[in-house]
Homo-oligomer: A and B are copies of this chain.
Amino acid sequence: MEVLKNVSNCKDCAYRTWAFNNLTPEELELINNKKVEKFYRKGENIYIEGDPVHSFLYLQNGLVKLFKTESNHKEHIISIAKPKDFIGLLSIFSNQDHVYSISAVEDSIICFIDLDIIKSFIQNNGDFALDFLKKISKLSDSIIKTRVDINTRQLRGRIAYMLLFFAQNIYNAKKFNLPISRKEIADLIDMSTENVIRALSEFRKDGLIQIEGKNIVINDIERLQKIYDLG
């Protein structure tokens, strides 16, 4: 991790329109002064389960995963956040400590804003509060939807989901580099690593995808969508 020196100005931040559009110039100046931007190399932890909650985290660049080790020792990825996403879960507003861990899946730049500042904005700026709730609730519900989508399907449907997720949701391209390992895919879709590998090989043999290591090309997005739909 590295604290960035030449920090960007919040006013010019490409993501400002996301949820910070309703701040007054003074409020914007305040977070601009107080925010800290940090760079994390792929694989680094941003925080781990049990760490105290201090900040509201905002992903500027890169890709991070939210994960947890279950009591049965299985590691589980709850969600993957992409640029413009608030990172974490809403419980930062109600919990003292983080319930999940977060680490960088790709080199990432994360913007830390003191949570008390966000709270004061909610308290004092009604337009911000309402808009913020809208934005943040969308993200929270999409995590729930993802879990349901995945868990009501079996292996092939889940793999199709994951491929479509990266192609459509993250990279917006048919050709991309898988940012996570086969083991991490397994932890994301709750299947064994071997079966993830097998399903990917199967999809390749069927001509649905080309895959060489982490390099993926999606050949037949419609058929992939159908596999997902039928589950």
Contacts and interface: CB of A to CB of B under 8 A. Distances in A.
A136 B150 CA distance: 25
A147 interface: yes
Interface string A128-156: 01100111111011011101111111000
A93 interface: yes
Number of copies: 2
B145 A99 contact: yes
A147 B147 contact: yes
B141 A78 contact: no
Contacts of A133: 90, 93, 122, 129, 133
Contacts of A212: none
A126 interface: yes
Contact of A144 (B74, B78, B92, B119): B78
Contacts of A62: none
Contacts of A68: 148
A90 B138 CA distance: 7
A91 interface: yes
A76 interface: yes
Chain A interface main SS type: helix
B127 A123 contact: yes
Interface residues of A, number: 46
A94 B137 contact: yes
Interface of A: 68, 70-72, 74, 76, 78, 89-95, 99, 119, 122-124, 126-127, 129-130, 133-138, 140-141, 143-145, 147-153, 157, 190, 229-231
22 contacts: A68-B148, A70-B153, A72-B152, A72-B230, A74-B152, A76-B148, A78-B144, A78-B148, A90-B133, A90-B136, A91-B138, A92-B137, A94-B135, A94-B138, A119-B130, A122-B133, A123-B127, A123-B130, A140-B141, A144-B144, A151-B151, A152-B190
